[in-house]
Amino acid sequence: MCEGGVAFVLSSFEAHLSEGTFGTYLPRETERSVPVEQGKIVPRSRLTTNGKLCVIIGELSFEDRMKIKNPRRAAMDMEITFPGGKKVNAIYRGFTIKTDQPERGGGEGSAPAPFDLFLASIGTCAGVYVLSFCQARNIPTEGIRLIQCAERNPETKMIDRITIKIQLPPGFPEKYGEALVRSAEFCAVKKHIHNPPAFEIYTTGPEGR
């Protein structure tokens, strides 16, 4: 512990902080204290590790400390807000993702419902991989479309089958057909459905503690 707070030597993962400083994360076993002033970035000449930056976190907010201690949180945090009516927005990486309920559900139908965005994330994610496959091989993408169909189980009311059909235009190289399908299979959303994350929901105070 040094005067003004604890200095953590940081590595390559960048975590933006509300204090206007920035830093990166290094595993706990390699943390060490450096005698510098609170809130200052340590000059590289002050560090024995090669080219590493350091930031003091002793007086930073709880949220900022979590961003340094947990790089996944820094990268994946999403804020959910309630702008009015049935609208629920997500603020993520500088974007505001808007949702609303249809009129029959008490909303205004001004934006897709959250579940609609979930379904769209599957198709667009597969589309990213199809697009990247074609661009890497200089294959024109004009006329290529993905048609996604979701089938709902009448008993459970849950979707139990999703089909994605890749429509190819005339002249598309036939030799790439199967490889194009395999590329769509790499969709990260699809992978997370097959291997779902654990969910944890809890309440906190206004400071997130």
Instruction: Write out pLDDT tens, residues 37-55.
Output: 444 444 434 433 333 344 4
Residue the block writes with tokens 């667009």: 124
Confidence label for 129 from pLDDT (cuts 50, 70 and 90): very high
Tokens 């419902």 sit at which residue? 113
Q: Which residues contact 135 (CB under 8 A, 6 or more apart)?
A: 141
Average pLDDT over residues 135-162: 96
Q: In 3-state terms, what secondary structure has residue 182?
A: helix
- The residue extents of the domains of the chain are 7-76, 112-194
In the structure encoding, which two tokens stand for residue 44, read together? Answer: 């590289």
What is the reported pTM?
Answer: 0.64
The residues, ordered by sequence, that sit 6+ positions from 114 with a Cβ below 8 Å of its Cβ are 88, 99
- Arithmetic mean of pLDDT over the chain: 75
Query: What is the predicted pLDDT for the residue at 67?
Result: 52
Give the chain's length: 209
For residue 181, pLDDT beyond 90: yes
Copy the structure tokens of residue 167: 């429509």
Helix (H, G, I), strand (E, B), or coil: what is residue 82? Answer: strand
| Of 9-13, 86-90, 154-158, the least confident | 9-13
Among candidate residues 76, 31, 73, the one with its CA nearest the CA of residue 56 = 31
| pLDDT value at 209 more than 70 | no
| Across 7-21, 143-157, 170-184, least confident range | 7-21
pLDDT of residue 70: 55
> Is residue 60 pLDDT above 50, yes or no?
no
Joined together, the tokens standing for residue 118 give 């979930």
Cα torsion 131, 135, 141, 146 to 10°: value is: -20
Residue 204 — pLDDT band, cuts 50, 70, 90?
confident
How much is the average pLDDT of 52-71? 47
Q: Is the four-CA dihedral 89, 90, 96, 98 of positive or negative sign?
A: negative
From CA 57, how far away is CA 48, in angstroms rounded? Answer: 20
Nearest CA among 169, 168, 170, 150 for reference residue 160: 150
Provide the CATH number for the domain formed by 112-194 in this structure.
Answer: 3.30.300.20
Q: Which residues lie below 8 Å from residue 203, measured CB to CB, with a gap of 6+?
A: none
Q: Residue 184, SS3?
A: helix
User: Do 187 and 129 touch, CB atoms closer than 8 A?
Assistant: yes
Strand partners of residue 145: 167
